[in-house]
């Protein structure tokens, strides 16, 4: 696993390290490329770099200088001859006894922004065989060759392979736009740098409106049609409001989250393109939900201060695919779990599974008095009336893809003070003196300073998204404009993806004897 180490600021020398994986014979060139990027970003040329102590040196302003080396990594989770540590040391000079903080931050940002090596790309691809299988299944055809692809993604290593698979299916890096979800992932700087080094256009999700317009205009200039692989409903709300002549440039949108579906549920009749809903598919609901719930619960418990949870009350708001698994996970940990859902059928299902329930959420908050409250609705599940029903110290945990699960402005307005917390979150003191701590600052806890589910788990849903993109790009397969979950289910279940999954991870007698994943070469464009 690739790891980024933190920055250690010493009085005399600032030391910055990044762990990388590379073939040993490529290590010197990897160092030189990193040094050239640093020099260029600071306004220097490659010829300003000089050999120094088995590494390179760059003289800076005010007598300061930087030393860059690459060393065999030790003490890593997976040590080996291809594991290295890129070290940057910045030495003050002249009258300075330390490096100015602004310069430290800039150098840290640049040094952490190392594109992935060929060895790292191959390692990531080996963890994502289902995505690669979608590419190889189309033989030599390239269904995305006439498409400008937009991808919304968490900046994790699996995003690198998703983009590469889109290119292997015919897309061009220069015509791909990636919307970046702003979470503190360990490798986010490296993923960002790698995508940009390929020529991919990277924009923040907060700028989705402008990004969709620019992407559409670029496609028009290149004579391409647009399609999106979305995660959270960033593209469709913009697309619905585009002028009709620009809407016609779009082939469709693949959406993989229920929060994204909820964002357009009141405008379904206005959808100008087909929506391929991986979010509502049996593939995602029956397989991925367990992984997400398990990660969310384990991360939330890790964020708590020392506390005994067995026998304590918990509440799960939202008994959908993920919420049902969260409730079961908490019950296995011997918590007393109650459930609420506005959908009466889900509420009945929770009741008949033995969970305490109530028609009104306020009643559960007052009478069950939960220590832990998980929001898994994809909407705003708690607002001012619900915060007034809290009468004990408790922790709020979001598991959906935005910071809107809890109405945090309403909580701040109701609270009399905010303060530090023993947990990783924001603590609010209520008028009755009790403390409400919002873990992970209200963001989805399964993405909080962690890499969420493993690549082996995200592989299935990303592969499903590629199947959706392939279908949208083929007029004979694509559906009519609108949302048709049954169509997506049919395409996914006839694609061979689930059979591939079963062959790889089913009974041993059914498993492929293949000992490694053979990745599909990505054409250079």
DSSP 274-295: EEEESTTSHHIIIIIHHHHHHH
Characterize 489-507 residue by residue with b for buried, 16 or more Cβ atoms within 10 angstroms of its Cβ, and e for exposed.
bebbeebebbebbeebeee
Instruction: Give the torsion sign (CA, 361, 365, 370, 372).
Output: positive
CA 278 – CA 255 distance, rounded (Å): 6
Residues 263 and 327 in one domain: no
The secondary structure of 113-152 as a DSSP string is -PPPPHHHHHHHHHT-HHHHHHHHTTTT--TTTTEEEEEE
Kindly state whether residue 167 falls inside one of the protein's structural domains: yes
- Residues 377-400 have a mean pLDDT of 94
Q: Helices 497-505 & 129-136, crossing angle to 10 degrees?
A: 140
pLDDT tens digits, residue range 455-495?
888 899 999 999 999 999 987 777 899 999 999 999 999 99
pLDDT band at 100 (very low <50, low <70, confident <90, very high): confident
The CA distance from 461 to 131, in Å, is: 9
Average of pLDDT values for 422-440?
Answer: 89
Note whether residue 336 is domain-resident: yes
- 301 in the same domain as 370: yes
At residue 450, what are phi and psi to the nearest 5 degrees? Answer: -150, 170
Residues 122-156 pLDDT 10s: 999 999 999 999 999 886 789 999 999 999 999 99
Query: 221 and 155 in one domain?
Result: yes
The mean per-residue pLDDT over the stretch 416-425 comes to 73
The pLDDT of residue 77 is: 52
The Cα 91–Cα 104 span in angstroms is 11
Q: Which of 490, 461, 486, 459 is nearest to 257 (CA)?
A: 461
pLDDT of 406 reads: 94
Closest to 201 in 3D by CA, of 187, 181, 190, 215: 215
Q: How far apart are CA 370 and CA 97, in angstroms?
A: 53
What are the strands, taking DSSP E only, across 336-419? 336-340, 372-375, 394-398, 417-419
7: confidence class by pLDDT, cuts 50, 70, 90: very low
Alpha carbon 336 to its chain centroid, in Å, reads 31
**Distance from C-alpha of 292 to C-alpha of 447, rounded to nearest angstrom:** 10
In a domain, 381, yes or no: yes
Range of the domain at 64: 4-114
The answer to whether residues 22 and 144 belong to one domain is: no
> First vs last Cα of the chain: how many Å apart?
28
110 contacts 40 by C-beta, under 8 angstroms: no
Q: Distance between CA 469 and CA 14 in Å, rounded?
A: 46
Same domain, 313 and 428: yes
Q: What is the CA radius of gyration of the chain?
A: 25
Query: Is 278 in the same domain as 131?
Result: yes
What's 466's domain CATH number? 3.40.50.1480
* Amino acid 225: pLDDT: 97
* Predicted local distance difference test score (pLDDT) of residue 378: 87
Among 103, 106, 66, residue whose Cα is nearest residue 88:
66
Find residue 202's DSSP bridge partners: 178
User: Which range among 4-8, 169-173, 493-497 shows the weakest confidence by mean pLDDT?
Assistant: 4-8
Provide the pLDDT for residue 519: 47
Same domain? 276 vs 295: no
pLDDT of residue 106: 86
Tell me what pLDDT residue 504 has.
92
> Across all residues in the chain, what is the average pLDDT?
89
User: Among 114, 147, 179, which residue terminates a domain?
Assistant: 114
306 — alpha (psi -120 to 50), left (phi > 0) or beta?
beta
State percent of the chain over pLDDT 90: 71
pLDDT tens-digit map of 38-93: 999 989 999 999 999 889 999 988 788 899 999 987 655 555 678 999 999 988 87
Whether residue 364 is contained in a domain is answered as yes
Do 267 and 167 share a structural domain?
Answer: yes
Same domain? For 51 and 149 the reply is: no
Per DSSP bridges, beta strands 274-277 and 482-483 are parallel
Instruction: Tell me which of 114, 146, 181 is where a domain ends.
Output: 114
pLDDT digits (tens, 9 = 90+) for 193-206: 999 999 999 999 99
What's the pLDDT at 516? 45
Domain contains 519: no
202 found inside a domain: yes
Give the total number of structural domains in the chain.
Answer: 3
Q: Is the same domain home to 403 and 483?
A: no
Q: What distance in Å separates the CA atoms of residue 518 and residue 305, rounded to the nearest whole number? A: 44
What pLDDT score does 501 carry? 94
Q: From CA 91, how far away is CA 122, in angstroms rounded?
A: 36
pLDDT at residue number 451: 59
Q: What is the pTM of this model?
A: 0.86
- Identify the domain boundary among 114, 145, 178: 114
Q: What is the token pair recorded at 141?
A: 């055809």
- Lowest model confidence (mean pLDDT) among 65-79, 106-120, 176-190, 500-514: 500-514
The answer to whether position 518 is within a domain reads: no
CB atoms within 10 A of CB 30: 21
- What's the CATH number where 96 sits? 3.30.70
pLDDT band of residue 103 (cuts 50, 70, 90) is confident
| Beta strand pairing call for 274-277 and 250-255 | parallel
Residue 144: how many other CB atoms lie within 10 Å: 28
Number of H helices, E strands in the chain: 20, 20
pLDDT at 116: 96
Residue 200 is encoded by which pair of tokens? 């991919």
In this model, does residue 419 exceed pLDDT 80? Answer: no
In tens, the pLDDT along 294-351 reads 999 999 999 999 999 999 999 999 999 999 999 999 999 999 999 999 999 999 999 9
In a domain, 520, yes or no: no
Residues 302 and 437 in one domain: yes
State the CB neighbour count (10 A cutoff) for residue 69.
19
DSSP state of 273: S
Same domain, 306 and 403: yes
* pLDDT value of position 437: 95
Q: By the 8 A CB rule, do 187 and 155 touch?
A: yes
Contact 19, 83 (CB under 8 A): yes
């Amino acid at each position: 696993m690739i790891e980024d180490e933190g920055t250690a600021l010493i009085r005399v020398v600032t030391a910055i390290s990044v762990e990388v994986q590379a073939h040993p014979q490529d290590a010197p060139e990897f160092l030189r490329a990193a040094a050239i990027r640093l020099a260029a970003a600071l306004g220097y040329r490659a010829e300003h770099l000089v050999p120094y102590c088995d590494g390179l040196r760059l003289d800076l302003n005010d007598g300061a200088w930087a030393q860059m080396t690459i060393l065999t990594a030790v003490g890593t989770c997976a040590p080996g001859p291809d594991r290295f540590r890129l070290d940057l040391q910045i030495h003050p000079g002249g009258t300075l006894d330390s490096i100015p903080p602004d310069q430290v931050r800039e150098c840290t940002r640049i040094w952490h922004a190392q594109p992935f090596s060929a060895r790292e790309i191959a390692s990531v691809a080996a963890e994502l065989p289902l995505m690669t299988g979608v590419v190889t299944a189309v033989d030599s055809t390239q269904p995305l060759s006439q498409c400008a692809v937009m991808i919304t993604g968490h900046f994790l290593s699996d995003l690198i392979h998703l983009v590469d698979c889109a290119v292997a299916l015919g897309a061009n890096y220069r015509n791909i736009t990636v919307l970046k979800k702003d979470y503190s992932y360990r490798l986010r700087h490296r993923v960002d740098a790698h995508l940009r080094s390929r020529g991919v256009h990277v924009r923040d999700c907060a700028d989705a409106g402008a990004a969709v317009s620019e992407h559409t205009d670029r496609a028009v200039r290149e004579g391409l049609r647009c399609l999106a692989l979305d995660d959270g409903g960033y593209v469709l709300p913009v697309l619905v409001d585009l002028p009709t002549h620009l809407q016609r440039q779009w082939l469709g949108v693949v959406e993989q989250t229920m929060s994204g579906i909820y964002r357009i549920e009141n405008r379904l009749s206005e959808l100008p393109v087909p929506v391929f809903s991986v979010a509502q598919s049996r593939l995602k609901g029956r397989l991925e939900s367990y992984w997400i719930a398990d990660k969310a619960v384990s991360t939330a418990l890790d964020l708590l201060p020392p506390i005994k949870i067995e026998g304590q009350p918990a509440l799960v708001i939202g008994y959908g695919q993920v919420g049902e698994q969260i409730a079961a996970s908490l019950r296995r940990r011997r918590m007393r779990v109650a459930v609420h859902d506005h959908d009466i059928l889900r509420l009945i299902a929770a009741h008949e599974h033995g969970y305490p329930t109530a028609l009104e959420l306020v009643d559960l908050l007052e009478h069950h008095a939960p220590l832990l409250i998980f929001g898994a609705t994809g909407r705003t599940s708690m607002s001012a009336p619900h915060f007034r029903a809290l009468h004990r110290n408790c922790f709020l945990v979001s598991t959906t893809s935005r910071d809107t699960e809890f109405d945090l402005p309403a909580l701040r307005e109701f609270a009399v003070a905010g303060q530090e917390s023993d947990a990783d979150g924001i603590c609010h003191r209520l008028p009755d003196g009790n403390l409400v701590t919002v873990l992970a600052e209200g963001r989805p806890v399964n993405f909080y300073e962690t890499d969420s589910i493993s690549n082996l788990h995200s592989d299935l849903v990303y592969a499903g998204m590629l199947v959706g993109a392939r279908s949208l790009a083929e007029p004979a397969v694509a559906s009519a404009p609108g949302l048709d979950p049954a169509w997506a289910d049919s395409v996914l279940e006839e694609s061979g993806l689930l059979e591939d999954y079963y062959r790889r991870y089913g009974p041993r007698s059914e498993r492929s004897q293949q000992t490694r994943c053979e990745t599909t070469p990505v054409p250079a464009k």
